[in-house]
Chains A and B, each alone.
Chain A
Amino acid sequence: MTLDAGHTTRVEFDYSGGERLTMNMGPQHPSAHGVFRAILTLEGETVVGVDAVIGYLHRCHEKLSETLTYAQYPSIASKTDYVAAMTSEFAYVMAAEAIGKIEVPKRAQYLRVIAAELQRIASHLLWLGTWCMDMGGALGGGATIFLYAIRERETILDLFESLVGARLLYGFYQVGGTRYDIPAGWADACRKTIDVIDQRIGEYEGLLEDNPFFQARAKDVGVITRELAEDVGIAGPLLRGSGVNFDLRRSAPYSSYEDFSFTVPVETGGDCFARYRVRMVEFRESIKIIRQGLDKLPDGPISSRPGLKSVAQIRIPKGEAYARVEGPRGEVGCYLIADGSAKPYRMKWRGASFSNLAVLPHIIPGHKVADVVAIMGSVDPVFGEVDR
């Protein structure tokens, strides 16, 4: 296709069968998962090339962090990965605590774990719904699963609301501990909620895995080999779906994760179905961790720091540190350089979605157009975290 001076399109057809079509998928597309733009090169229905364009949601997060104090930024850190807001706050405060060598009381550590695991369930529920919607359509069976998953996620957001007062972006984590303690009756409400979710997860597995159409769409689609997974540097459920047994909660325990007993699911298939299985098991494991956390929750203070009189009160001594947590999408890291003032000198995010997205151009070519959205959904990117 050429564009001449008069801006009229002249199409030269090639009937040899080798003609390629360039199709723009996104940034405004029902399955863009935010604002992802994939420029696909098609031969008929088969994708032969994919060009990924990101950056439509860039909000200068790292520069922004230099203008906000250690007390202010955790609430803004939520906005990087807005689907799992607790995770980024967690990484940020851990980095600050590592530089300042600030102790975190045991109770706060447990509360952090409970909040992070609830967040993992909420995030995976949203993934399950949107992924099924990618495969089943907003006007079909996918929408049914989506609405079920959203219904369950809502109960977790209710828990967060009674804990923090916010439903999406929390600011629950603070340097030295947590901002709030759990209110009266919260533990029982939490137990009830996770019991319901535990039972419903089984129902969804029945609905999906007993369905041959679902299996046909998920199995042997978007295979990431172990070698590719390690070369590209993907993390989280993707990595564990490709047969690598790596989970930061197990291999580099933080915030008392060593006190909890849970298994790290590993699948060797490397396809969309393997990633789905890993996440489905993670639901159960997170529920297990929350139950243990609520049972063993120690008494004591929730912060090693006194109540704040001004937002500039926390001063972190000169130094630098990298802190990483296992988020729902993989390793979320925060590299922080402090200069002794109330604001960081420089900060860098390592977003799990960003590095996971890098695997797409390796696995998409050779698949059909319909598989592109299935694979992208199984990678579970959140563009707030990719573009930051």
Chain B
Amino acid sequence: MPVWLTALIAPFVVLNVVILLVTYVTLLERKFAARMQSRIGPYRVGPHGLLQPIADAVKLMMKEDVVPTAADKTVYNLAPIVFLIPCMLIFATIPFAPGLGVADLNIGILFFLAVSSMEIVGLFMAGWGSNNKYALLSAMRAVNQIISYDLPFIFSALVPVMIAGSLKLSDIAAAQAGGAWFIFYPVIGQLAFVAFMVSTLAAENRVPFDILEAESELVAGFRVEYSGMKFALIQLGEYAHIIGSSFLGSVLFLGAWAGPGPEYLGPIWMLLKAMFLFLVLTWIRWSFVRIRVDQILTLSWKFLLPATLTLLIATSFVVVWRAGGF
């Protein structure tokens, strides 16, 4: 197969798999949340509600597309797409098995972190373009929060990078071969994992850090004026971002595709680990109350940022010491 054909087919396949995954991950979350709350969850559409995501998608497509009269139309209409693109691009560098991925860049993790923080542009455009006070407050909070939490997110993601000695995601995965997952790395591994999960929660705007959406205060935050497919695109982007981060977490800390059984089960293991991380995030989401904007910033700047920075420095010492330095 010529290179250009692969370069076209691989992203197409990954994109569609991600969209399918997102649709069904919403069902997984709803079922999981329902069990936590002693409910049944979606049950009517298809056996055990299995067709519910399809029904939801069809419903959203048929909804009227409302554009507020006073909205800044260009910005308003463009925002969902600007938001969605970075959330989809993050899957580009994730290797799902050895050699299975769109582009295994040698700066893979850097690409992921850089692109994933670009979602803020879409968020702010949506909040500003809607010409709604709730949306504007939400956009203000978004800028505050995402900038604050990107740094701890990057620092905690850099810990496995330092241990593995490579920015390439497949190298990081290979460095954990034979069960030496970085989450089992003494002390540093666990601390970095916890910091990674906390900053993932914050960067994805999940409860307890979902002050952007905050439906009890800001109704729906930056997407209060969106309906129909534009709303669906924003939802798709958010969930894609969460799943992307879950995949990144399983590559960085949980040994990526490593698992018992033959090698072709690798992607399955990868998916299972990512879903496990996703369910941990969901578990936290459905059992915590939301914290306030000033408390979120305090947590980041006064605690998480110094802690992850210290952890990063400590890691560098440990890595040099283990390599026989000093």
A15 close to chain B: CB less than 8 A: no
A213's partner among B136, B141, B288 (CB-CB below 8 A) is B288
- Residues of chain A lying within 8 A (CB to CB) of residue B39: 147
A139's partner among B215, B287, B289 (CB-CB below 8 A) is B215
A267 close to chain B: CB less than 8 A: no
- Residues of chain B lying within 8 A (CB to CB) of residue A42: 137
Give min CB distance, B213 to chain A, whole Å: 7
Cβ B290 vs Cβ A136 within 8 A: yes
8 A Cβ contacts from B204-241 to A: 207-208, 210-211, 213-219
Cβ B292 vs Cβ A140 within 8 A: no
Output the nearest chain A residue to B36 by Cβ-Cβ distance: A144
A319 close to chain B: CB less than 8 A: no
B10 close to chain A: CB less than 8 A: no
- Residues of chain A lying within 8 A (CB to CB) of residue B33: 144
- Residues of chain A lying within 8 A (CB to CB) of residue B291: 213, 216-217
Known contacts A31-B217, A370-B211; is A141 also within 8 Å of B286 by CB?
Answer: yes
Secondary structure class of chain B's binding surface, majority of residues: loop
Interface pick from A116-124, A127-135, A157-165: A127-135
* 0/1 interface trace, chain A 96-139, chain B, CB 8 Å (1 if under): 00000000000000000000000000000000000011111111
Cβ B133 vs Cβ A21 within 8 A: yes
Known contacts A9-B70, A137-B214, A139-B210; is A144 also within 8 Å of B287 by CB?
Answer: yes
| A133 and B37 alpha carbons, distance in the complex (Å) | 13
Give min CB distance, A31 to chain B, whole Å: 5
Known contacts A21-B133, A144-B37, A148-B38; is A139 also within 8 Å of B292 by CB?
Answer: no
- Residues of chain B lying within 8 A (CB to CB) of residue A139: 207, 210, 213, 215, 285
Cβ A370 vs Cβ B290 within 8 A: yes
A205 close to chain B: CB less than 8 A: no
B293 close to chain A: CB less than 8 A: yes
* 0/1 interface trace, chain B 286-320, chain A, CB 8 Å (1 if under): 11111111110000000000000000000000000
Cβ B208 vs Cβ A213 within 8 A: yes
Cβ B216 vs Cβ A133 within 8 A: yes
Q: Assign chain B's interface to a size class.
A: 20 to 34
B295's partner among A134, A138, A143, A216 (CB-CB below 8 A) is A216
- Residues of chain B lying within 8 A (CB to CB) of residue A142: 216, 289-290
Cβ A137 vs Cβ B290 within 8 A: yes
- Residues of chain A lying within 8 A (CB to CB) of residue B290: 135-137, 140-142, 213, 217, 370
Cβ B38 vs Cβ A147 within 8 A: yes
Cβ A136 vs Cβ B214 within 8 A: no
Cβ A369 vs Cβ B287 within 8 A: no
| A329 and B215 alpha carbons, distance in the complex (Å) | 26
Cβ B210 vs Cβ A217 within 8 A: no
- Residues of chain A lying within 8 A (CB to CB) of residue B217: 31, 369-370, 372-373
- Residues of chain B lying within 8 A (CB to CB) of residue A346: none
A260 close to chain B: CB less than 8 A: no
* 0/1 interface trace, chain A 348-388, chain B, CB 8 Å (1 if under): 00000000000000000000111111000000000000000
Output the nearest chain B residue to A9 by Cβ-Cβ distance: B70
Give min CB distance, B217 to chain A, whole Å: 5
Shortest 3 CB-CB contacts between residues of A and residues of B: A140-B207, A136-B289, A147-B37
Q: Which residues of B contact A (CB under 8 A)?
A: 33, 36-39, 70, 133-134, 136-137, 140-141, 207-208, 210-211, 213-219, 285-295
Ordered by A's residue number, 19 sampled pairs between the chains whose C-beta atoms are within 8 Å are A23-B134, A45-B140, A45-B294, A133-B216, A134-B216, A135-B216, A136-B216, A136-B289, A137-B207, A137-B289, A137-B290, A139-B285, A143-B37, A144-B33, A148-B37, A216-B291, A369-B137, A369-B217, A370-B292
Q: Which residues of A contact B (CB under 8 A)?
A: 9, 21, 23-24, 29-31, 42, 44-45, 132-144, 147-148, 151, 207, 211, 213-214, 216-217, 368-373
With A140-B289, A213-B291, A373-B216 already in contact, 17 other A-B pairs whose C-beta atoms are closer than 8 Å = A42-B137, A135-B290, A136-B289, A138-B216, A139-B210, A140-B208, A140-B290, A143-B37, A144-B36, A147-B37, A211-B289, A214-B289, A216-B292, A217-B291, A368-B293, A370-B217, A372-B217
